[in-house]
Chains A and B, each alone.
Chain A
Amino acid sequence: MLYLDNVNYIYQMGTAMEMHALNNVSLEIPDGQFIGIIGHTGSGKSTLIQHFNGLVKPTSGTIYYNGRDIWDEDFSKKELRTKVGLVFQYPEYQLFETTVVKDVEFGPKNMKLDKLECQLRTFGALKTVGIGEELYDASPFELSGGQKRRVAIAGVLAMQPDVLVLDEPTAGLDPRGRDEILEAIFRIKQERNITVILVSHSMEDVARFVDRLIVMDHGSVRFDGTPKEVFAHYKELEEIGLAAPEVTYLTAELIEKGLPLPNVATTVEEAKEMIMRFYKH
């Protein structure tokens, strides 16, 4: 479990370029949740997730992992990073090895696991993200964009973290590549039942999968709840430069036009059911 207590982060403190990136953020992230973090560029979401595994030290405030302050001197940050796996934006740019397998093995090897365990984890991770055996010995640089990204995600997954954080995992991919990534993430969540935190721009992506949605704005948490609760504020979301899924607008308009739907929908499936139910009666 991750717990953030009044975390503040200020970039380049004391200079002209000082910037308050995080403003009194308090969050509780229980085990096993599927969480989406949304917010427009510069809202502090990337800074926030770098606090989760101790890559960035908060200017003030405390972060607890399973009840322990991660900035305690005797707390191993290296171990924390294997527990809280962070996949950066465009992770394929960090591939460096000669073969796919070797690259994915980098994480487990850093954990000083024995050879067999390293291989088991590597193959397991590659299988979960849907990379076939025929690509194991290929150079990671020969793969397609979507494949590269899945290999990079496998690289973090192979450490078998308890919390997996992904920063914009679908950015810059074609629809097919995007679907493959999202399916892989969903599979990870189901197979391992770990906490998954997904940072995204795409409301459709998040609405479809997550149980909980955190909206960041100007370094603070603006909304925190189920997608349904959060997207009900679609008007306020627009004010901070975000949008609800298309279907939310559609159902909102239908309600406005007099269709007695119980509430706005967040996914196409949900809208379909509601409308069907209305016509059956």
Chain B
Amino acid sequence: MLRDITIGQYYPAKSVIHRLDPRVKLFATLIFIVSMFLFKTFVGYIVAGIALITVIKMSKVPFKFIVKGLKTIWMLLCFTLIFNVILTDGTILFEWKFIKISIEGIRNAIFMGFRLFFLIIGSSLMTLTTTPNQLTDGMETGLRGLKKIKIPVHEMAMMMSIALRFIPILMEETDKIMKAQSARGADFEEGKLMERIRALVPIFVPLFISAFRRANDLAMAMEARCYRGDNNRTRMNPLKYKKEDGLAYLSLVLYVAILIVADRTLGPIAESPITKLSTSLSAMVHIFNCL
């Protein structure tokens, strides 16, 4: 089951997107997320969707692989849809006990669903095309300015890359410990809730101990190699902006501009038939209710 999670996974391929400077990708992802809240009409969704599809095509990551990662947030998506449908006030289409479905609710749900979908695909596209090391490098270099106000950027980036590095190790360790305890007759699948929770103690205690031991060993190994933070530290491959990165920044600005302009100008025009439809629909519902 754990293997199915593709969020945060890296997909090795040779593409323009993979080659981009991680700072560009981080910044672009941030802007993309913010841009999700900059538009109100469905024209905005179309613009964002086109932009996303273009980037996916350029990244050479199979769409299927990206969508596989959505499995884990399926529940979240469903909840958002259901709550939006139920809890939005407006012209009521259907009513049963406390459940009220309104036109606005459906509209909100669809929009919210797409927004979440875009958000997740956008951000997983970043992790799919950037190795964890590049990512932390990008973060460290990109946020270097914050060091002036005494924020330990380097240490935070180092902690993050170590944490990422430890995930597969600890997963393997968990598997081993679970097997070893099952060999001693432990049962993780049966029993009441409390029994099951108690059954986790024999896994977590050795897991924590081993995590601490590994952390200790790693710290020792780092000290043995004279690690002392980023004092006078140089890099083997310092991050340098290339021509592609400039182009990427430019397209990002263009994307935001197009998004806002299209949403403000085309949006109301394109939406007017829908608004008309929904007003006439609500009128019909009203008449129907009166009858």
Contacts and interface: CB of A to CB of B under 8 A. Distances in A.
A94 B209 CA distance: 9
Interface string A103-129: 000110011000000000000000000
B183 A95 contact: no
A159 B177 contact: no
Task: Determine the main DSSP class of B at the interface with A.
Answer: helix
Contacts, number: 54
A219 interface: no
A95 B213 CA distance: 14
- The winner among B184, B187, B210 for most chain A CB atoms within 10 A is B184
Interface in A111-162: 111, 141, 155-156, 159
A159 B185 contact: yes
Contact of B182 (A81, A87, A95): A81
Contact of A50 (B179, B186, B201): B179
Nearest to B213: A93
B185 A96 contact: no
Interface of A: 50, 53, 55, 78, 81-82, 85-88, 91, 93-96, 106-107, 110-111, 141, 155-156, 159
A155 B181 CA distance: 10
Interface of B: 176-177, 179-187, 201-202, 205-206, 209-210
B185 A94 contact: no
A141 B205 CA distance: 11
Chain A CB count within 10 A is highest, among B176, B177, B185, for B185
Contacts of A107: 184-185
Contacts of A81: 182-185
Contacts of A106: 181, 184-186, 202
Contacts of B182: 55, 81
B206 A96 contact: yes
A94 B206 contact: yes
30 contacts: A53-B183, A55-B179, A55-B182, A55-B183, A78-B187, A81-B184, A81-B185, A86-B180, A87-B183, A88-B176, A88-B180, A93-B177, A93-B206, A93-B209, A94-B181, A94-B202, A94-B206, A95-B206, A96-B201, A96-B202, A96-B206, A96-B209, A106-B184, A106-B185, A106-B186, A107-B184, A107-B185, A110-B186, A110-B187, A141-B209
